[in-house]
Amino acid sequence: MLALSNLHAEGDGFVPPSTNDFNLPPISESISWLTKPVLLVFLSVILVSVFFVLSSRKAAVVPSKLQFAGESIYAFVRNDLARDVIGHDFMRFVPYLFTLFTFVLTNNIFGIVPFLQFPAMSHVGFPYVLAVFTFVVFHYVGIRKQGLGKYLKEIAFMPGVPKPVYILLTPIELATFFLVRPLTLSLRLFANMFAGHLLLLVFIMGGDYMMHDSHLIMKLFSPFSFAFGIALTFFEFMVQCLQAYIFTLLTALYIAGALADEH
Partner 1 sequence: MRSINLLAEGEAANPLIPHTAELVVGTIAFTLLFLVLRKAVVPMFEKAFTARTEAIEGGIERAEKAQLEAQRALVQYNEQLSSAQGEASKLREEARIQGAAILEELRTKAQEEAARITATAHASIEAERQQAITSLRNEVGALAVELASKIVGEALDDQARQSRIVERFIEDLEKSK
| Of 91, 135, 83, residue with least CA distance to 254 | 135
Q: Closest CB to partner 1 among 129 and 172?
A: 129
> Does residue 88 interact with partner 1 by CB under 8 A?
no
Q: Closest CB to partner 1 among 2 and 216?
A: 2
At its nearest, how many Å lie between partner 1 and the CB of residue 119? 13
Query: Which is it for the CA torsion 260, 129, 248, 51, positive or negative?
Result: positive
From the list 63-71, 159-167, 218-226, 238-246, the region that binds partner 1 by CB under 8 A is 63-71
Task: Note whether 45 and 104 are within 8 A (CB).
Answer: no
> Does residue 65 interact with partner 1 by CB under 8 A?
no
Task: Note whether 252 and 81 are within 8 A (CB).
Answer: yes
Which of 16, 45, 116, 201 contacts partner 1 by CB under 8 A? 45
> Does residue 85 interact with partner 1 by CB under 8 A?
no
Which of 17, 67, 112, 185 contacts partner 1 by CB under 8 A? 67
Site for partner 1 in 174-213 (CB under 8 A): 187, 190, 194
User: Rounded to whole angstroms, how far apart are CA atoms 21 and 4?
Assistant: 12
Task: Note whether 222 and 204 are within 8 A (CB).
Answer: no
Cα distances (angstroms) measured from residue 235 to each of 112, 174, 231: 10, 36, 6
Q: Closest CB to partner 1 among 107 and 225?
A: 107
> Does residue 232 interact with partner 1 by CB under 8 A?
no
> Does residue 95 interact with partner 1 by CB under 8 A?
yes
DSSP letter for each residue of 20-83: GGG-PPPSSTTSTT--HHHHHHHHHHHHHHHHHHHHHHT--SS--HHHHHHHHHHHIIIIIIII
User: Rounded to whole angstroms, how far apart are CA atoms 118 and 186?
Assistant: 18
> Does residue 22 interact with partner 1 by CB under 8 A?
yes
- In the complex, the residues that contact partner 1 under the rule CB under 8 A are 1-2, 5-6, 8, 18-20, 22-25, 29, 32-33, 35, 37-38, 41-42, 44-45, 48-49, 52-53, 56-57, 59-61, 63, 67, 70-71, 74-75, 78, 91, 94-96, 98-99, 102-103, 123-126, 128-130, 133, 187, 190, 194
